[in-house]
């Protein structure tokens, strides 16, 4: 459903991503692993638009996305949950969720009750203001809001960052359930191996703006040096 062909991304004169070829199939979970500064966020922003300047091909559901406004890409079924979460601090949890209606056609939007069923902790916080949530709670809210428009493909940028291990485990189960029930594909930028392994079945490793390895998790297990070289400190 998503295909990047020979993609390059630049900020000003700096070439950040080069020769990127990547695919996500319908309903599939794909991990994009790499250390700080490897280019994960830049790659996700190249898909949704509004970030770096991009050349090469970005195709989604058979359509070329290049030149399309970000809101149209969202309507086509893409959502990005950004690494800085972008929770509206002066709106309640419930209002933050309902804001997702602006990202899709009205009849596409999920009922908030569905989201509260997937993420029960949010139901208890529904009237809490965004600025009264912990970092982990904000992260769950950002993921939940990303699901509201029923994305065909959800892009998650390091959702486990700063989240306690117990919550990370819960988040993996909740995301998997929501995706299963909705049939959403996932492209997950991460450094957390446990979480990535639990949410995806295919891996791209990125380093200094280039894909240096791809394969399923059993392939990763056959090449432990890949993790040591490109992910471990």
Ligand X SMILES: Nc1ncnc2c1ncn2[C@@H]1O[C@H](COP(=O)(O)OP(=O)(O)OP(=O)(O)O)[C@@H](O)[C@H]1O
User: Which residues of the shown chain bind Mg ion in the complex (CB under 5 A)?
Assistant: 40-41, 83
Give the residue with the Cβ less far from ligand X, 9 or 122: 9
- Of 49, 44, 121, 47, the closest CA to residue 84 belongs to 44
> Which stretches of the chain are DSSP H helices?
40-48, 70-75, 93-98, 112-118, 120-124, 135-147, 165-182, 193-199, 217-222, 224-230
Give the residue with the Cβ less far from Mg ion, 16 or 167: 16
* C-alpha distances out from residue 189 to 8, 68, 116, Å: 18, 23, 25
Q: Examine residue 194 and tell whether it contacts ligand X (CB under 6 A).
A: no
Per-position x/- string for 87-126, each x denoting binding to ligand X as judged by CB under 6 A, each - no binding: ----------------------------------------
Give the residue with the Cβ less far from ligand X, 185 or 205: 205
Please, what is the minimum distance in Å from the beta carbon of residue 216 to ligand X?
Answer: 22
- With contacts defined by CB under 6 A, how many residues of the chain interact with ligand X? 12
Chain contacts with ligand X (rule: CB under 6 A): 11, 14, 16, 34, 36-42, 83
């Amino acid at each position: 459903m998503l295909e990047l062909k020979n993609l390059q991304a630049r900020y000003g004169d700096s070439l950040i991503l080069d020769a990127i070829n990547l695919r996500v199939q319908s309903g599939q979970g794909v991990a994009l692993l790499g250390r700080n500064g490897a280019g994960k966020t830049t790659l996700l922003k190249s898909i949704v638009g509004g970030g770096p300047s991009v050349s090469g091909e970005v195709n989604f559901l058979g359509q070329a996305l290049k030149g399309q406004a970000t809101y149209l890409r969202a309507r086509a079924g893409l959502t990005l949950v950004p690494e800085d979460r972008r929770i509206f601090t002066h709106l309640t949890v419930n209002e933050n969720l309902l804001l997702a209606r602006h990202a899709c056609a009205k009849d596409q939007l999920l009922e908030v009750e569905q989201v509260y069923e997937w993420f029960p902790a949010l139901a208890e916080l529904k009237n809490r203001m965004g600025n009264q949530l912990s970092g982990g709670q904000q992260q769950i809210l950002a993921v939940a809001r990303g699901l509201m428009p029923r994305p065909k493909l959800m892009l998650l940028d390091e959702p486990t960052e700063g989240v306690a291990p117990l919550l990370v485990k819960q988040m993996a189960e909740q995301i998997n359930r929501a995706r299963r029930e909705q049939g959403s594909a996932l492209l997950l930028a991460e450094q957390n191996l446990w979480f990535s392994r639990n949410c995806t079945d295919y891996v791209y490793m990125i380093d200094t703006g280039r894909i240096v390895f791809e394969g399923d998790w059993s392939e990763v297990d056959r090449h432990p040096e890949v993790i040591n070289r490109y992910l471990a400190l």
